Amino acid sequence: MLSHYIKVSFRELLKYRTQSVVSIIGLAIGFTAFILGGYWLWWETHFDNFHPEADRLYCLTTEGLVKRANGTNSDLDQLHVDDRKELFQLLPEIEASCSFNHLSFTLKQKDETISLHGMESDHSFFDLFWADFIAGTYKGKSPDGSNVILTERTARKLFGTTDCVGKEVALDEDLRPVVAGVIRNYPDNTDLLFDFLLIRSPRPNHVKRMTTYVRLQKNASIIQVHTKLARYKSRADKKWKIHLLTAPEVHLRCHPELTDRIRNIHILALAGAMAFLSALINLLVLFIGQQQRKQQKNRTYLCVGASTKSMMLKGCTELVLPLLIAFLIAFCLIESIYPYYESYTTWNRYGIYEDVSRHLSRVSLFGNMISIAGTSILAFLLVCYYPIRSLLEHKIQKPVLFKRSLIVVQIFIGSLFFITSLGLFRQLHFILSKDKGIDYSQVIQVDLGFSTAYQTDLSVLKPEMANHPYVKGVTFTCGNAPVFTEQGDWYGSFYTHFCFDPAEPDPNRSDPVLVADKDFFSFFGLQLQSGSWLTDANAYGFLVNETCLQTLGYADLFERSVYNPENKQASPLKVCGVIHDYMYAPMQYPVLPLFFTTFDNPMVKGFEPAYLFYIRYAPGHKKEVLEHLREVTSHIQNDNINRNKMFTELSDLVDTFNRPEKVIFTIFSILSLVCILISTFGIYSLVSLSTEQRRKEIAIRKVNGATFYHILQLFFREYFLLVTLGNAFALPVGYLLAKRWLETYANHTTLPAWLFLLVFIITSGIVLLSIFQQVKRAAATNPAEVIKTE
């Protein structure tokens, strides 16, 4: 019987092939986006949940040291030693604790250079965190740094095997611990990134902070703990706030660079879910239309002895078959785009772990896909059970109202996608077209490395780099001061404090200073707003950008000297000019108030070495200039710099910054188009059904003198109300969502009123086109034939 129902279902799919294809494709694309976005979101929100008793594992973090792109405070997963002592006395709920610090070493093994990142901690680490020993043990080992635990990956990298207990690891000349054990690699969704664990009592870093995790007692009230922390004043700095974060929260709140990533993940998951829901509704609309066309046939089945159970099985088969086909297509889609998905979702940390990439698990992704596919089929059948039964037994009291409600939901989803996509497009166009205030065309960035700069004066390479017929100019900056940076919350060579008034209103203000070559400003075409450029005559001079001038608030800034904040004595330091702002980071970051000076300034001379060079080449001659630069820098030996990444074109760097917006816009455009098509075919299907059921009414109206346009107007008025109702909900919700998304950018476009009117006009036009053909076909039928057959 089931095989017979499957054959019947296939015939129905072929009979209504256009609607079926659109519905199946919509289901496949929506489910694909939902799975990829949903799994990505799950992965990002379940970091370090694999540790034993993870529900009681927390990290003591500090707020007030790091900021997100939108200016709000982020958390730092470190705790000052003074606060650590006080908090352990304040919180008797703490059952166990562990502190550790990060370490980094570069090892040379034969002709290979190996970078190792690790941590130092005592035995308490193994009391709180997961450690599956393959060989050896930590027990009985003194926490004096003479023993080390390696991960399986590191053991194979250093020794080619995990059977290396007792062997020595030369981390540096003075630190040569013996391997005490080897543990299995941690999953990629962890913030505890280490190649080795040095068994040594952790020592605070240079700012007296360490990462500290605690496990609370089983009966501890987390609300009371948070209340105590809210009242606590940091012993290190009264402005700091101490928080207690779960392990997954550490990942989300202690990495400000993830803010935009998490936002885009939510967009992808929500968009996929809505597209999938729209396709499911369309499938149900198509099914209802088919069943109403087969009312007479279904009555015949029931009259000849078919049970309600068998009819339900037949109906469920017709519903499930398109879903199964769609899931199969979705599986193929995910398999084909997985390499790109893996590349796009890879998380690269900053700092000493910048070269460590974290990847989503392929096995877990497909396992989740299968389980969610099965769950969604079951949930869909449960939700549809009553409508299907009522339809087969002809018990739906108001079928027209039910069908219209489904159409309104589809129009709501389609219009919501439409207006949101237009908002995304406007912001993307704004990002790509807005003048950044700096000329970065045909410019190559050469990164010669931090460590090299402290060993050699690299500024002497400038004339040699410029000695090429296709090189139009060369300049350089120093560390933490690239022309473009992906992390706009920290920009400048160093931070200091400039006091322009002995009665300083903001003595704790930190002023970022960018140290650059004297040709930096002319090389990049920066514009002077007021004052004068830096020259040899004002060696102690500084430039500021417009934002800095506004932030300081001094109209007479050029006349003011910089005072020593301790003795209130004027120094020779002065601001001599203001330059227009330029955008050095992605648009979600605001432009910071910046000070600029050159390497000739005696205040910074010899303080910050140069190692970021910028070379402008003649159009069409990039290849020749790159070969020249490789030759000039061939003698540079820097173990920390990958020579393939030494040379970066600035335009490529800007494109990398814009990549997330481009991807999200592309995905949204596809999903929006799918949802609009689904809504269109849903309306088309219902109009087709409605015209078939109202053929006699149309015939009588024609006999009484109604024209085609009168009949078209009758149908259009009915569906125009549905469009109006769907848009009445979709447009305000779309405005709120798009507005909230745009506000995550410090620099963003606006949403004009005509955009919403355009969406309404286009959706109304789509409905008119959808009903035009069906009404025309019904109106063209001979009324006498219709009345005779009815």
Instruction: Read off the pLDDT of residues 721-745 as tens digits, 9 standing for 90 and up.
Output: 888 998 999 999 989 988 888 887 8
Least confident segment among 88-102, 160-174, 550-564, 680-694: 680-694
- CA 430 to chain CA mean position, Å: 19
Q: Does residue 503 surpass a pLDDT of 90?
A: no
What average pLDDT does this structure show over 364-374? 88
Q: Does residue 10 surpass a pLDDT of 70?
A: no
Element (H, E) at 691: helix 650-693
List CB contacts of 463: < 8 A, sequence separation 6 or more.
none
Stronger pLDDT, 779 or 270, i.e. the higher one: 270
What average pLDDT does this structure show over 316-322? 80
Q: Does residue 470 surpass a pLDDT of 90?
A: yes
**What letter represents residue 287's amino acid?**
F
Structure tokens at 688: 């087709």
Q: Does residue 638 surpass a pLDDT of 70?
A: no
Half-sphere exposure of 383 (CA within 13 A, CB side): 11
Q: Supply the pLDDT for residue 485.
A: 86
Q: Supply the pLDDT for residue 126.
A: 93
Strand-strand pairing, 511-516 and 595-598: parallel
Tell me how far CA of residue 479 lies from CA of 436, 437, 516, in angstroms. 22, 22, 10
What average pLDDT does this structure show over 153-161? 91
Least confident segment among 228-232, 546-550, 571-575, 780-784: 780-784
Helix (H, G, I), strand (E, B) or coil at 615: strand
Q: Supply the pLDDT for residue 214.
A: 94
Q: Does residue 596 surpass a pLDDT of 80?
A: yes
> 182 falls in which pLDDT band (50, 70, 90)?
very high
Q: Supply the pLDDT for residue 351.
A: 58
Contact present, 413 and 737 (Cβ < 8 Å): no
Stronger pLDDT, 106 or 118, i.e. the higher one: 118
Q: Supply the pLDDT for residue 302.
A: 59
Please name every residue paired with 478 in a beta bridge, in sequence order, or none if there are none: 610
Contact present, 419 and 759 (Cβ < 8 Å): yes
What average pLDDT does this structure show over 669-696? 72
Q: Supply the pLDDT for residue 233.
A: 87
Give whichever of 67-76, 420-429, 478-487 has the largest mean pLDDT: 420-429
Please name every residue paired with 446 in a beta bridge, in sequence order, or none if there are none: 613, 647
Q: Does residue 249 surpass a pLDDT of 80?
A: yes
- Cα separation of 629 and 626, whole Å? 5
Contact present, 281 and 32 (Cβ < 8 Å): no
Contact present, 295 and 360 (Cβ < 8 Å): no
Please name every residue paired with 323 in a beta bridge, in sequence order, or none if there are none: none
Average pLDDT along the chain:
83
**Structure confidence by residue, pLDDT tens digits, 270-306:** 888 888 887 787 777 777 766 666 666 666 665 665 5
What average pLDDT does this structure show over 77-90? 89
Q: Supply the pLDDT for residue 215.
A: 94
Residue 183: phi, psi to the nearest 5?
-115, 160
Stronger pLDDT, 296 or 54, i.e. the higher one: 54
Q: Supply the pLDDT for residue 303.
A: 65
- Cα separation of 780 and 606, whole Å? 89
> 623 falls in which pLDDT band (50, 70, 90)?
very high
Contact present, 294 and 695 (Cβ < 8 Å): no
What average pLDDT does this structure show over 117-124? 92
Q: Does residue 172 surpass a pLDDT of 60?
A: yes
Q: Supply the pLDDT for residue 3.
A: 74
Structure tokens at 301: 């089945």
Q: Supply the pLDDT for residue 642.
A: 59
Give whichever of 313-327, 353-367, 548-562 has the largest mean pLDDT: 548-562
> 442 falls in which pLDDT band (50, 70, 90)?
very high
DSSP 3-state percent helix, strand, coil across the chain (nearest 5): 50, 20, 30
Task: Write b or e for each residue in 769-789: b if 16 or more Cβ atoms lie within 10 A of its Cβ, otherwise e.
Answer: ebbeebbeebbeeebeebeee
Q: Supply the pLDDT for residue 183.
A: 95
Stronger pLDDT, 296 or 175, i.e. the higher one: 175
Alpha helices in 255-398 (DSSP H): 259-293, 295-303, 308-345, 362-392
Stronger pLDDT, 358 or 514, i.e. the higher one: 514
Contact present, 646 and 476 (Cβ < 8 Å): no
Structure tokens at 726: 């769907």
- Cα separation of 114 and 107, whole Å? 5
Least confident segment among 185-199, 288-302, 362-376: 288-302
Q: Supply the pLDDT for residue 768.
A: 79
Q: Does residue 98 surpass a pLDDT of 90?
A: yes
Enter the pTM of the model. 0.77
- Cα separation of 760 and 238, whole Å? 54
- Cα separation of 139 and 185, whole Å? 20
- Taken in order 276, 282, 286, 287, the sign of the CA dihedral is positive
